[in-house]
């Protein structure tokens, strides 16, 4: 049975209204040089439930930070989207802070540093951003915050002005 052209056109237009998620997976694999699931590659394919607006310009792909644990894929069109793709850790990377470890949390601003004890809620290597929570009387208190590992047992929260 043939469909009238009036019914086919809206279907084709609806498919073109979204970015092809397979293209994003391919761009990340090309950028990292590793396939999905490999050490150094994306941990999983992009969630197929996402409906990202079609991008008119070529996708932008960059590392989120020097730790190379996340790739940022974005559409450079004005007001468009940005996607963070986790990367599987390379085996043998030195873990400087282990989950559950007591760490020194340094809050650093222009001309000052304030420190307190805290608990690491994630593991990571130097340069990684992890979640930490302050300690009071030896027990974790308050909401978790993100901090960058500066050396074993020490994390830093830079203040921005």
What mean pLDDT comes out for the span 86-91?
80
Closest CA to 143 of 116, 118, 112: 118
Give CA–CA dist 91/113, Å, rounded: 34
Q: Name the β-bridge partners of 148.
A: 129, 156
d(CA 118, CA 99): 11
* pLDDT at residue 123, as a whole number: 86
Query: What number is the average pLDDT over the span 132-160?
Result: 86
The per-residue pLDDT for range 47-58, each reduced to its tens digit, is 999 999 999 999
The pair of three-digit structure tokens given for residue 22, joined into one six-digit string: 């397979």
Of the candidates 83, 27, 22, 33, which has an alpha carbon nearest to the alpha carbon of residue 58?
A: 27
How far is 63 from 68, CA to CA, in rounded Å?
A: 6
Place of tokens 């929570």: 133
The domains located in the chain, with CATH, are: 5-86 (no CATH), 102-158 (2.30.30.760)
pLDDT category at 82 given cuts 50, 70, 90 is very high
Phi, psi of 151, deg, nearest 5:
-165, 170
Tens digits of residue pLDDT in 94-145: 788 888 999 999 999 888 899 999 999 988 888 888 999 998 877 778 889 9
- Give pTM, 2 decimals: 0.52
Distance CA(141)–CA(146), nearest Å, equals: 15
Pairwise pLDDT comparison (12 vs 110), residue with the higher score? 110
**What is the pLDDT at residue 93?**
64
What is the pLDDT, as a whole number, of residue 128?
A: 82
């Amino acid at each position: 049975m043939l469909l009238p052209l009036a019914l086919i056109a809206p279907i084709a237009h609806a498919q073109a209204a979204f970015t092809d998620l397979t293209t994003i997976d391919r761009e990340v694999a090309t950028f990292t040089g590793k396939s999905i699931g490999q050490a150094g590659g994306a941990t999983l394919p992009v969630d197929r439930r996402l409906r990202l607006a079609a991008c008119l310009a070529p996708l932008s792909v960059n590392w989120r930070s020097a730790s190379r644990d996340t790739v940022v894929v974005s559409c450079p069109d004005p007001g468009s989207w940005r996607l963070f793709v986790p990367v599987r850790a390379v085996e043998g990377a030195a873990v400087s802070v282990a989950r559950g470890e007591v760490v020194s949390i340094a809050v650093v601003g222009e001309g000052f540093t304030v420190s307190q004890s805290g608990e690491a809620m994630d593991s990571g290597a130097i340069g990684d951003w992890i979640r930490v929570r302050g300690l009071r009387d030896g027990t974790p208190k308050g909401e978790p915050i993100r901090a960058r590992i500066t050396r074993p047992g020490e994390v830093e929260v830079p203040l921005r002005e």
